[in-house]
Chains A and B, each alone.
Chain A
Amino acid sequence: MTPNNMLYRQERNPQRHRFIRSDQHRTLAPGTPIFQEIEDLRNALQFAVSLEHFTIPPYLCALYSIHEGTNAEAARIIRTVVVEEMLHMTLAANILNAIGGKPHIGGGKEPLPNYPHEMPKIATSFQVNLLRFSKDAVNTFLRIERPAAPTKTPKSGQFRSIGEFYESVREALRRLDDKEKKKNQKGIFTGTKRQVTNEHYYGSGGKLFGVYNLDDAEDALDEIVGQGEGIDGSIEDGDGASFGDDVEYAHYFRFNEIFHERRYRPQDKPGDAPSGDLLRVDWNAVYNMVPNPKMSMFTDRPGLHQKARAFNRIYTKLLKNLHNACNGSPEILQEGIPIMHAMRIAAVDLMQEPSGIGNYTAGPSFEIVR
């Protein structure tokens, strides 16, 4: 571990939902797809980048639709989750870079999502929509982040859950690195020059770090999985309570607090609904954004269409910035900050204009434009 990594990871809050990770070789559940060769693993990590990316537009739509100055707590929760998803995306890109791959963000090997869309590769039966902040939206977020094992039987090539997918990634990293180390000291970790680290990305709370070896890669996976979904659905109770001021909750539980409009108490169990203080939510203090906006909805309104396209141009610019940052120019990540702010402003402008479709206003469609 490089000294840089040690510094920042020591400063992270140690009290987090720790999903059970064994340092021994765990066996994957029978039927879990395996990433056989290094190229399969690289593709898998590219998929991880795309998967994290996929969750961001729905979260942002909900966040942007909240009237400024209202729902402060809910907005803060969603905003933190977005920041963490971007962190996950970058960590996945770091791992991919480290094992000699090239991340694609916003094009190339990354399939362009078209909402509504099912979660790719995960055995689920729900669609992910671009919705204004609402119970429906939060319910979708819960299902995306769900740690509980689903009951649906996965098809061939599908995973039961996101956690299971990352477990398979972990297995492949260990197996392939181990095999490669017999020939070459670095193992599979040959591409460590293009890492994006904490100094390039402020606001990550010290959680972003470069990946230079298997330990780092596993820590990166811990970071991704620890904040997101669990492996087998349980949370380590350990010494601390599952909930409380000192614990950083997995995304699922933060969304659950919004959904039930209550906070967790330390004595709540993960399977319970939160039973603590009220968390004030005003479901009406939102823009009435049309579900799943598309530029094509506004072709008969040239001014609106132009604005919808303008948002997408800014979004595309952000993806290009992230892509370049993860492909050898991490220092330009800083230029992404004004782009993200401009995105928000353009999105709210759209949500303030009537769409011409019923009572709905327009909204950002997150389409990539060339």
Chain B
Amino acid sequence: MPNNNLITEPALKDIDPDLPIFLDLSSKLTGYSADELEQTGMLETYYCMLMKEDDQDGIRAFLEKARQVLTGADVDDEIKATFIDHTPYEELAQRIILMWYTGIWTTMNQKDMKPAQARTAMISAKTYQEGLIWATAETHPAGAKQPGYASWERKPIPRFDHIVELR
């Protein structure tokens, strides 16, 4: 039997208990299942963007609130009431949704006093390609994951089957 174990750093989710919370909250906020989010391969990358924010107290409070809501009753209603309806947590929740959908992150870090535009950036070439917006549109990121010659002549093969069920 081949020995194929790669460098064995422990998986981030085994040492940081907030990571599964981030995943579950992201699932509720984006409308994609935890599996689908993991299949983008971007979970740790996006979580790290939160960890790089200067306001770590705020981030921790946000994630603690998420833990409470996710383990409580009436999860869907509570998510909306806590993270969407013009609450103090709404702004970060929105940035997280956009990060998953577009691969773009807006940092609130005041370092270097950058102008607003410079605080918003595509995290990497990979986050662009894994942005959920493309699968949502039943297509692929422009310039990547090309579907092949003559594919545009027919209906697309969706990336996530779930979409078909939703129609």
How many chain B residues touch A (CB < 8 A): the figure is 33
Collect the chain A residues with CB atoms within 8 Å of residue B157's CB.
314, 338-339, 342
Given A129-B2, A288-B6; A304-B35 close (CB under 8 Å): yes
Is the Cβ of A349 less than 8 Å from the Cβ of B151? no
Complex: A353 Cα to B37 Cα, angstroms: 9
Q: Is B117 an interface residue (CB 8 A)?
A: no
Complex: A354 Cα to B6 Cα, angstroms: 14
Collect the chain B residues with CB atoms within 8 Å of residue A202's CB.
149
Is the Cβ of B5 less than 8 Å from the Cβ of A131? no
| Residues in A341-370 with C-beta less than 8 Å from chain B | 341-342, 345-346, 348-350, 352-354, 358-359
Q: At the interface, is chain A mostly helix, strand, loop or mixed?
A: helix
Is the Cβ of B38 less than 8 Å from the Cβ of A338? no
Complex: A303 Cα to B146 Cα, angstroms: 25
Given A303-B33, A307-B35; A291-B1 close (CB under 8 Å): yes
User: Residues on A close to B: CB < 8 A?
Assistant: 68-69, 129, 131-132, 134, 136, 202, 284, 286, 288, 291, 301, 303-304, 306-307, 310, 314, 334-335, 337-342, 345-346, 348-350, 352-354, 358-359
Collect the chain A residues with CB atoms within 8 Å of residue B41's CB.
348, 352-353
Is the Cβ of B34 less than 8 Å from the Cβ of A345? no
Distance between A70 CB and nearest chain B CB, rounded to angstroms:
12
Complex: A345 Cα to B144 Cα, angstroms: 11
Distance between A255 CB and nearest chain B CB, rounded to angstroms:
16
Q: Is B7 an interface residue (CB 8 A)?
A: yes
Closest chain A residue to B6 by CB distance?
A: A288
Is the Cβ of A341 less than 8 Å from the Cβ of B147? yes
Closest chain A residue to B35 by CB distance?
A: A303
Complex: A307 Cα to B40 Cα, angstroms: 13
